[in-house]
């Protein structure tokens, strides 16, 4: 039996510079748990404003999930991959707060943003052993595209110009 969702105690909002330490901690926790490419420098996490929120770049954004009384428990970012495609990055949920709808709300936020911007496709990747994340991606209609880096990462895509099969 899954724990109860957080419901209205969970808020998703755009990143603020005051969130930096909590976001870096979530990033490193995910990295240490093996949920990130070991060659990933994390430069975008060290420079979220320039990587996701600069005035020069439209079509990019970074959000945090805030649990009332706790603080930041999740993150997700969207970056332009090409003129018509976005990449969802940095989906993180605190390991003690998973399976309560946080990842779902973050992905909903990212997809809604991509639709608003007018992207036709969203791509993302994850480790092959990340079964809960893969199940979450499939829930939203993401399809397995293949692997890269000698099979270390599974790539998924979602066509936004089609109706999702089911959510």
In the chain, what are the domains?
7-159 (3.40.630.30)
Q: pLDDT tens digits, residue range 46-70?
A: 999 999 998 666 899 999 999 999 9
Question: What is the per-residue pLDDT for 167?
Answer: 47
Q: Please state, for a pLDDT cut of 70, what percent of the chain lies above it.
A: 84
Please state, in angstroms and rounded to a whole number, the distance separating the CA atoms of residues 114 and 52. 13
Question: What is the per-residue pLDDT for 104?
Answer: 94
Q: pLDDT tens digits, residue range 82-94?
A: 999 999 999 999 9
Provide the pLDDT confidence category of residue 148 given band limits of 50, 70 and 90.
low
What pairing do the DSSP bridges indicate for beta strands 153-159 and 121-126?
A: antiparallel
Residue 14 has pLDDT above 90, yes or no: yes
Q: What is the 3-state secondary structure (H, E, C) of the chain?
A: CCCCCCHHHEEEEECCHHHHHHHHHHHHHHHHCCCCCCCCCCHHHHCHHHHHCCCCCCCCEEEEEEECCCEEEEEEEEEEEECCEEEEEEEEECHHHCCCCHHHHHHHHHHHHHHHHCCCEEEEEECCCCHHHHHHHHHCCCEEEEEECCCCEEEEEEECCCCCCCC
Q: Please state, for a pLDDT cut of 90, what percent of the chain lies above it.
A: 59
Give the CB-side neighbour count of residue 158, counting CA atoms within 13 A: 28
Question: What is the per-residue pLDDT for 94?
Answer: 93
CA distances from 159 to 60, 114, 122, 130, 167 (A): 18, 11, 7, 22, 14
Q: pLDDT tens digits, residue range 90-128?
A: 999 999 998 889 999 999 999 999 999 999 999 998 877
When the pLDDT of each residue in the chain is averaged and rounded to a whole number, the result is: 85
Question: What is the per-residue pLDDT for 42?
Answer: 82
Residue 165 has pLDDT above 60, yes or no: no
Question: What is the per-residue pLDDT for 29?
Answer: 83
């Amino acid at each position: 039996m899954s724990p109860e969702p957080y419901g209205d105690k969970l808020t998703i909002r755009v990143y603020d510079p005051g969130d930096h330490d909590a976001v870096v901690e979530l990033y490193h926790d995910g990295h240490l748990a093996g949920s990130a490419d070991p060659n990933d420098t994390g430069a975008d996490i060290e420079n979220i404003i320039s990587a996701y929120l600069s005035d020069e770049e439209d079509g990019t954004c970074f959000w945090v999930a805030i649990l009332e009384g706790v603080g930041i428990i999740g993150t997700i970012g969207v970056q332009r991959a090409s003129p018509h495609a976005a990449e969802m990055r940095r989906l993180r949920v605190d390991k003690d707060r998973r399976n309560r709808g946080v990842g779902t709300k973050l992905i909903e936020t990212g997809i809604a943003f991509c639709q608003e911007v007018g992207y036709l496709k969203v791509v993302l990747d994850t480790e092959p052993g990340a079964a809960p994340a893969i199940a979450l991606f499939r829930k939203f209609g993401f399809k397995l595209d293949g692997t890269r880096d000698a099979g270390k990462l599974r790539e998924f895509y979602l066509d936004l110009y089609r109706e999702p099969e089911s959510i």
